[in-house]
């Protein structure tokens, strides 16, 4: 009886451990320490076993996105399961999510350092390191009321889509030649008010952390000029290529951070009732791999570029493409179907036009 109680206590302790953030290695080390000290090893609860079996079957059926989701559900319950991290890493690698694959394989090595597969696991990490996209850097604020900015590294990506609208074509390679910073969120009503002394938003009654809207491209430029005077920095709108690079964050997912719109975006299917949809406070949906929120949905975001009907002749260095009459908006909004929040989707309007679903996100040239 004493042995049974002890075993149940171990299972309860490990079963109830929270899911840890990717950058919280100290917390995962606690999982490792308790798992390696456990004798006997904990037993997988039946609900976790169910997800495990379904994940393995999904792999057999080549439903890899479903397998990833099921392995993650299993590991939410049993974060101490070494083979789960190993198997999840392999599937992530198959879907070219190399950074996530490296993280999961590293967790496997921590949990099972003496396993027969450790050599193969380490070799996989070496392979993925050679193709993994760069990660976002530090987060900073230039003043108390300034937006949080995320430093992004230089890098290359494939822009556009061959499966969407005509103006998303052709697919073309872009190399962002210099690192830059981009807003962690859309500019909020409070941040606008701190610089401009007013609030143009139609949804002014929304929380101060809701995105500012009813802002034209020209309005955004006035805000930026005042913010630059206030801070002495070089804020600007992102170029369209920088925006999509930041949105995709090293992946080729349908939306900015997921293939599932509702996980990352406020759109007209989840932002309120049928007749009373509205924007929501920023950073209340899932972030993408760069830690950026609401790049799909919430409000359309102005970028610097003029609109062109295709990408033929587009700059390959990530700079803004000018010489036009309309300006580009990206990301969709709370009032549009999820499809408008696709990573490659584009919209356009004149520089002086404002709408209660139009906002923006800042970029900054790093000195």
Report, at the CATH architecture level, how domain 139-365 is classified. Answer: Alpha-Beta Complex (3.90)
pLDDT of residue 17: 33
Mean pLDDT of 35-57: 95
CA distance 367 to 365: 6
Most distant pair of Cα atoms in the chain: their distance = 80
Q: Measured between alpha carbons, how far is 262 from 270 in angstroms, rounded to an integer?
A: 7
3-state SS, residue 306: strand
Run of H or E including 158: strand 155-159
Of 72, 130, 57, 67, the C-alpha closest to 95 is 67
Distances (CA, A) of 94 to 59, 65, 90, 98, 253: 11, 10, 6, 9, 14
Which residue is associated with the tokens 């390191």?
A: 129
Task: Note the pLDDT tens digit of each residue in 156-189.
Answer: 889 999 999 999 999 999 999 889 999 999 999 9
C-alpha to C-alpha distances, 241 to 25, 165, 256, 326, nearest whole angstrom: 33, 17, 14, 17
CA dihedral 98, 101, 107, 113 (to 10 degrees): -90
Question: What φ, ψ does residue 72 adopt, rounded to 5°?
Answer: -65, -40
**97-153: per-residue pLDDT in tens?**
988 998 899 999 999 999 999 999 999 998 987 787 767 888 999 999 999 999 999
Q: Report the SS3 class of residue 358.
A: strand
Superfamily per CATH, domain 2-129 = Tetratricopeptide repeat domain (1.25.40.10)
Cα–Cα dist 180/313, whole Å: 23
CA distance 65 to 344: 20
Question: What's residue 235's pLDDT?
Answer: 98
Using pLDDT thresholds of 50, 70 and 90, give the confidence band for residue 19: very low
Burial (Cβ within 10 Å: 0-12, 13-18, ≥19) of residue 194: middle
pTM reported for the whole predicted model: 0.68
* Domain segments of the chain as ranges: 2-129, 139-365
pLDDT at 367: 66
More confident residue, 125 or 19: 125
Nearest to 79 by CA among 116, 33, 133, 39: 33
Distance CA 164, CA 364 (A): 30
Residue 4 has what pLDDT? Answer: 35
């Amino acid at each position: 009886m004493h042995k049974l109680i002890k075993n149940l206590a171990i299972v309860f302790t490990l079963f109830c451990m929270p899911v840890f953030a990717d950058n919280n290695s100290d917390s995962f080390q606690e999982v490792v320490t308790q798992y390696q000290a456990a004798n006997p090893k904990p037993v997988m609860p039946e609900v976790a076993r169910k997800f495990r079996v379904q994940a393995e079957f999904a792999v057999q059926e080549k439903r890899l996105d479903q397998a990833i989701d099921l392995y993650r559900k299993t590991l939410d319950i049993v974060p101490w399961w070494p083979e789960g991290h190993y198997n999840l890493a392999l599937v992530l690698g198959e879907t070219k999510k190399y950074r996530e694959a490296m993280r999961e394989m590293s967790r496997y090595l921590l949990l099972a350092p003496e396993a027969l597969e450790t050599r193969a696991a380490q070799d996989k990490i070496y392979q993925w390191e050679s193709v993994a996209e760069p990660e976002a850097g530090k987060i900073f604020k230039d003043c108390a009321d300034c937006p949080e900015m995320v430093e992004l590294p230089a890098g290359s990506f494939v822009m556009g889509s061959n499966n969407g609208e005509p103006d998303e074509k052709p697919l073309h390679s872009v190399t962002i030649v210099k690192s830059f910073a981009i807003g962690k969120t859309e500019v909020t009503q409070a941040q606008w008010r701190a610089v401009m002394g007013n609030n143009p938003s139609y949804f002014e009654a929304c929380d101060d952390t809701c995105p500012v809207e009813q802002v034209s491209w020209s309005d955004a430029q006035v805000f930026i000029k005042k913010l630059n005077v206030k801070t002495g920095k070089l804020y600007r709108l992102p170029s369209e290529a920088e925006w999509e690079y930041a949105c995709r964050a090293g992946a080729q997912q349908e939306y900015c951070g997921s293939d599932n719109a509702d996980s990352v975006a406020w759109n007209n299917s989840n932002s309120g009732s049928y007749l009373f949809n509205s924007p929501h406070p920023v950073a209340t949906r899932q972030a993408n791999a760069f830690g950026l929120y609401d790049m799909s949905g919430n409000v359309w975001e102005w970028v610097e570029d003029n609109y062109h009907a295709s990408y033929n002749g587009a700059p390959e260095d990530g700079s803004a493409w000018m010489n036009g009459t309309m300006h580009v908006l990206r990301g969709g909004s709370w009032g549009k179907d999820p499809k408008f929040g696709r990573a490659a989707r584009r919209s356009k309007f004149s520089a002086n036009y404002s709408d209660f679903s139009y906002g923006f996100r800042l970029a900054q040239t790093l000195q």
